Amino acid sequence: MQYLPILQHPDSRLRVKATTVESFDEKLANQADKMLATMYNANGIGLAGTQVDFHRRLIVVDVSESRDGPITLVNPEILLIGETVSSEEGCLSIPGVHDTVKRSDRINISAKSIDGSTLEMEAEGMLAICVQHECDHLDGILFIDHLSSLKRKRINEKLKRAPES
């Protein structure tokens, strides 16, 4: 399986708002498969289309310890229903950076599956947090955007000083 290149902050393509998926075809299924393989290869728990320069509303997640519980969500919409909790987040597009972000610990998700069928589910804990993080990517939002301007400035300065990998 060919892995997709993951865009790195401050790449401006990470700020592109993804468009709605209209066509549920083999191309979309192949893209989702490549995204899952890329996510697993990078030891991630979630990946949004935006992060791999595919600007459609498609995310893949797998928060299972055994790495055998992939979930693909197309055109996801979320409704926050839980309490706000603080948890540490990182991002495949901002390697080496982790910080505390406030998100809802429970959400309702309305989406399409890869074949276009309607999917409704409730998520809690790490899955809820991961889906919110990935949906932010679809809107051009990075987890560091939830931090104070001082923290963002420090992170950006640190990334500018980091050697190219």
pTM for the full predicted model? 0.95
* Per-residue model confidence (pLDDT) at position 156: 87
| The pLDDT of residue 140 is above 70 | yes
pLDDT for the residue numbered 2? 84
3-state class (DSSP) for residue 163: coil
Of the candidates 124, 134, 157, 164, the residue annotated as catalytic is: 134
Amino acid at 56: R
Peptide bond connecting 163 to the previous residue in cis, omega within 30 degrees of 0: no
For 13-43, how does the pLDDT look when each residue is reduced to its tens digit (9 = 90+)? 999 999 999 999 999 999 999 999 999 999 9
Tell me the average pLDDT of the chain.
Answer: 95
**How many CA atoms are closer than 13 Å to the CA of 10, on its beta-carbon side?**
11
Q: Nearest Cα to 154, choosing from 94, 74, 110, 80?
A: 94
Residue 134 appears among annotated catalytic residues: yes
